[in-house]
């Protein structure tokens, strides 16, 4: 398919499942071929926004802004989930909604998808704290993850200027289970590392869609990333894995990621540095680079000979 072609409008379908008494929202976009022969992808959002603005964004004049549509056009069934405390999912519990809770959400979501579709093994992409949720899910449930993509990931926090700054507000994260977000905060995501990596028009549409769903988000992932790292063990992640790191990402320290990468036991692994990209990679000017890397990894043939 022509990479420059404008995405077709692909109908999405909402789903709901439960994690105990907690109601979780899922969003599905099926492969346009009706088969989904390429597999099923679960997209996992980060700390400050729900799933649909991140993975099913539509920006006038910007073709292929929805990564879910892009992958659906290429034969993948795609899903995303609002973690508990975000978006359309339940926000009623008086808890921090930390990374472990997000991994619980992925367990519940994968249970639901399996029951609905029969698919038992998934390709999983997570970004920022969503990458930590995805990694923890893969560690807990190696039988459910065929290929794992960790974007804007952090392991110990070493070499992360963003987390160093964020840790200065640790008492604030401990004292409040939610933190307010507004348009100025959304702009800061794109300006803190290397301004200019994203077009202003995209930032504004992204902010519009995020703020339609939330005016505050949980502090649990911030608390974990500032005070509790590491929360995953690379030696226990057995899925084929790609680490995706934006050139100017202030969350993902290069040395930290390379150390994590070296400890992954599966030799089917890749490390990709994405030129001209900071954080929130799908909203960057170079978003097609991100799509290409992810698509290449998800369509890579499984090794026949392993020695």
pLDDT in tens, 116-132: 999 999 999 999 999 99
Which ranges in the chain belong to alpha helices (H)?
A: 51-55, 67-73, 99-117, 129-140, 161-166, 170-175, 183-191, 200-213, 220-227, 254-263, 287-298
Residue 6's pLDDT band (cuts 50, 70, 90): very low
Instruction: Give residue-wise pLDDT tens across range 159-174.
Output: 999 999 999 999 999 9
pLDDT at 210 over 50: yes
**What is the model's pLDDT at position 25?**
98
Q: Rounded to an integer, what distance in angstroms lies between the CA atom of residue 109 and that of residue 105?
A: 6
Mean pLDDT of 281-296: 98
Q: Where are the domains of the chain?
A: 13-298
**What is the model's pLDDT at position 8?**
56
DSSP-derived pairing of the beta strands 122-127 and 39-44: parallel
- pTM score > 0.85 for this model? yes
| CB-based contacts of 14, cutoff 8 Å, min separation 6 | 25, 26, 27, 28
Write the CATH number of the domain with boundaries 13-298. Answer: 3.40.50.1820
Residue 103's pLDDT band (cuts 50, 70, 90): very high
Asked which of 30-39, 40-49, 79-88, 223-232 is least confident by mean pLDDT, the reply is 30-39
Please give the order of strands across the beta sheet that includes 269-274: 13-19, 22-29, 76-81, 39-44, 122-127, 145-151, 240-246, 269-274
Q: Rounded to an integer, what distance in angstroms lies between the CA atom of residue 132 and that of residue 235?
A: 15
Q: Is the dihedral of CA 58, 42, 233, 168 positive or negative?
A: positive
């Amino acid at each position: 398919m022509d990479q420059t072609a404008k995405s077709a409008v692909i109908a999405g379908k909402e789903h709901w499942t439960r994690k105990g008494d907690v109601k979780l929202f899922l969003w599905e976009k099926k492969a346009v071929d009706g088969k989904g022969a390429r597999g099923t992808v679960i997209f996992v959002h980060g700390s400050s926004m729900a799933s649909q603005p991140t993975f099913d964004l539509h920006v006038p004049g910007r073709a292929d802004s929805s990564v879910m549509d892009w992958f659906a056009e290429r034969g993948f069934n795609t899903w995303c989930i609002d973690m508990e405390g975000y978006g359309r999912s339940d926000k009623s519990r008086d808890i921090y909604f930390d990374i472990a809770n997000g991994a619980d959400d992925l367990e519940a979501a994968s249970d639901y998808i399996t029951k609905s579709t029969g698919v038992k093994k998934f390709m999983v992409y997570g970004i920022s704290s969503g990458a930590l949720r995805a990694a923890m899910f893969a560690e807990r449930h190696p039988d459910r993850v065929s290929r794992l993509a960790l974007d804007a990931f952090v392991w110990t926090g070493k070499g992360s200027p963003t987390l160093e700054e964020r840790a200065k507000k640790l008492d604030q994260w401990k004292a409040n289970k939610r933190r307010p977000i507004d348009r100025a905060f959304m702009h800061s995501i794109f300006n803190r590392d290397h301004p200019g990596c994203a077009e202003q028009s995209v930032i504004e549409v992204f902010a519009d869609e995020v703020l339609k769903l939330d005016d505050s988000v949980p502090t649990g992932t911030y608390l974990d990333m500032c005070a509790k790292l590491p929360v995953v063990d690379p030696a226990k992640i057995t899925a084929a894995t790609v680490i995706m790191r934006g050139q100017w990402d202030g969350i993902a320290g290069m040395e930290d990621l390379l150390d994590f990468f070296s400890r992954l036991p599966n030799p089917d692994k890749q490390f990709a540095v994405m030129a001209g990209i900071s954080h929130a990679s799908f909203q960057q000017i170079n978003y097609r680079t991100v799509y290409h890397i992810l698509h290449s990894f998800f369509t890579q043939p499984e090794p026949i000979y392993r020695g």
